[in-house]
Structures are given as structure tokens and as C-alpha cells.
Amino acid sequence: MNEAEIRKAAYHLWESQGKPHGLDLEHWLQARDSVESEPASDGLAGSVSSGVAPPAPKKRASKRSVMAKTAGEK
């Protein structure tokens, strides 16, 4: 299993669910579980855990910084 396989599976899940916003971690974890449950063709079947970590959550701008930017655009 590799990150590219998980990424592709997560993308397909996202598309099939109507491209919802904010569910990237859920799609990644579901895709990872799905890819891990497939029989491995490299002889590593039955490995206990994945060496591929889910993507880090994106940082969102704070309400205060958004308001400061908006106030400066007048």
C-alpha cells in the first residue's frame, strides 16, 4: 500500500459523495482502511499498521484576522 493509492481512493470517495467541503480526513481514513483491506500483491499481507499518515488538517484563518483584513479593504 502506498500514499498514491490512498489519495486516489480518497479522491474517488470525495467525488462520489458530491465533493463535500471539510471531510478530507474522513475520506482519507476510509480510503486507507479500504486500501489496507485489499489483498497486498507485494507479499506484505497482514501488516498491522499503515506507514502512511493522513493529511494534516488545514489551518483556518481566525475570525479576528478575517475581520482585520476586511476592515483594511475599505
Cα within 13 Å of Cα(4), Cβ side:
0
- Alpha-carbon span 71 to 65, nearest angstrom: 10
- Residue 18 confidence (pLDDT): 93
Number of structural domains in the chain: 1
Show the domain range for 31. 3-72
Query: 0.85 exceeded by the pTM?
Result: no
- pLDDT value for 37: 85
Residue 68 has what pLDDT?
A: 64
d(CA 7, CA 55): 10
Q: Please list the pLDDT of the chain residue by residue as tens digits (74 residues).
A: 688 999 999 999 999 999 999 999 999 999 999 988 877 655 555 555 666 777 777 777 666 666 666 666 54
